[in-house]
Amino acid sequence: VRLAESKIEIIEPKQCRDGDNFARAVERGLSAENKSLPCKYIYDERGSCLFSEIMNLPEYYPTRCEKEILTRYRSCLSDYLGDEPFHLVDLGAGDGRKTKLLLRQFTNDGRKFSFVPIDISQSSLECMANDLEPEFCDLKLKGLVADYFKGLEYLSHNNRERNFVLFLGSNIGNFNREESREFLTGLRNSLNDGDLLLIGFDLKKKTSVMVEAYNDSAGISAQFNLNLLNRINGELGGEFDLDTFKYYSNYEARQGAIVSCLLSTRKQTVFIDALDREFDFGKWEPIHTESSYKFGIEQVHRLARDCGFEIEDDFFDSRRWFVDSLWRAR
Ligand code: AVJ
């Protein structure tokens, strides 16, 4: 990877190195009565690649819906920004393929901005930087390897200029209802009055469509979730046999979420060297790995107001399966 062309900088603040946190989170999650592992740890280099593959799957509609939305409304979005300089902050930027649509528009319109992608995966940011470099040679890019919360902390200390924050792809869906309120209130408080947030929500729809998006026929979603065990094996000396865990993902209508887990197909005991202990798994016992919450448009609007934002506009795809909602910090 060729980086650090002077305009491109990727930093990983010291307090964001997540090595021991991973071990602690695994210990906590696997000792609990209801076992779970935090989904943010899926995204190492392999997990991030698998997620890029997911975004190309025929079943995974959210990416295509959002591309349609951004393509259709990017010039309208650009009009909101005007001539004053701003930071384009991209939370959970990933490989940046969707953001590129906006970068192109804003650059062509002569908007003055610096680009601040924030992602937990350093490899994703590096890929993005290398991918953008030839086309956007004058772009000021400062990538930050951090989780969302560290990202907000960074924002609140560097918010002298206007911000236009992107939180796309229904990344918000991984938080439960209470966590999403807390997070968005925290985000609001790290912004200046008048700053804009473009936030993507996957909308409730026919359950089969949602279920298939997380149960693709190529089995990539399964590999993506199983990557958690893979990572425990590689980084913490775990002894998981991945063939004895089965990915299971379904829509829980009462929660309004796709809930995913790994089921131990037999009773077994697994040793993890870095934790110097074993964990017992009952036959068909689940490890919760991820929830992906779905929204009604009224829920989206209530969330905006409750967290200190005003709704400027809603941008839907033609099927109204997804919305990118534009909010202003009030
Ligand atoms: C990146 C959190 C938006 O929940 O839809 C895709 C992750 N997991 N397939 C989602 C995911 C399984 C995705 N988000």
User: Would you state the pLDDT for residue 1?
Assistant: 38
142 pLDDT above the threshold of 50: yes
Q: Is 249 in the pocket of ligand 1 (CB under 6 A)?
A: no
**Cα distance between residue 1 and residue 206, in whole Å:** 43
Among 310, 312, 293, 294, CA closest to 302 = 310
Given ligand 1 and candidates 51, 227, 255, which is best to mutate, with the most ligand atoms within 8 Å of its CB? 51
- Ranges of beta strands (E only) in 154-208 are 162-167, 196-202
Number of other residues whose CB lies within 10 A of the CB of residue 235: 15
User: Would you state the pLDDT for residue 20?
Assistant: 73
Q: Is 121 in the pocket of ligand 1 (CB under 6 A)?
A: no
pLDDT tens readout for residues 168-200 = 999 999 999 999 999 999 999 999 999 999 999
User: Would you state the pLDDT for residue 17?
Assistant: 65
Report how far ligand 1's centroid is from the alpha carbon of 144 (Å). Answer: 21
7 pLDDT above the threshold of 60: no
DSSP 53-90: HHHH-SS-HHHHHHHHHHHHHHHHHHHHH-SS-EEEEE
pLDDT tens readout for residues 296-318 = 999 999 999 999 999 999 999 99
**Cα distance between residue 47 and residue 227, in whole Å:** 6
Q: How would residue 157 be classed by pLDDT, with cut points 50, 70 and 90?
A: confident
Question: For residue 293, which amino acid is it?
Answer: Y
User: Would you state the pLDDT for residue 276?
Assistant: 98
**Cα distance between residue 257 and residue 203, in whole Å:** 10
User: Would you state the pLDDT for residue 256?
Assistant: 98
Q: Is 214 in the pocket of ligand 1 (CB under 6 A)?
A: yes
pLDDT tens readout for residues 234-291 = 999 999 999 999 999 999 999 999 999 999 999 999 999 999 999 999 999 999 999 9
Contact present, 257 and 291 (Cβ < 8 Å): yes
DSSP 219-278: -HHHHHHHHHHHHHHHHH-B---GGGEEEEEEEETTTTEEEEEEEESS-EEEEEGGGTEE
Could you tell me the two tokens for 140?
A: 């000021």
Residue for token digits 């906590």?
28
Report how far ligand 1's centroid is from the alpha carbon of 279 (Å). Answer: 27
Q: How would residue 45 be classed by pLDDT, with cut points 50, 70 and 90?
A: very high
Among 269, 319, 324, 312, CA closest to 74 = 324
Q: What is the pTM of this model?
A: 0.95
User: Would you state the pLDDT for residue 159?
Assistant: 73
Mean pLDDT taken over the chain: 94
Mean of the pLDDT values across residues 210-231? 98
Given ligand 1 and candidates 42, 166, 174, which is best to mutate, with the most ligand atoms within 8 Å of its CB? 174
Residue for token digits 């959210």?
62
245-252: strand order across its sheet: 245-252, 257-264, 286-293
Nearest 5°: the CA angle 105, 301, 183 is: 80
Report how far ligand 1's centroid is from the alpha carbon of 27 (Å). Answer: 24
Range with the lowest mean pLDDT among 69-78, 116-125, 223-232, 316-325?
A: 116-125
**Cα distance between residue 301 and residue 260, in whole Å:** 27
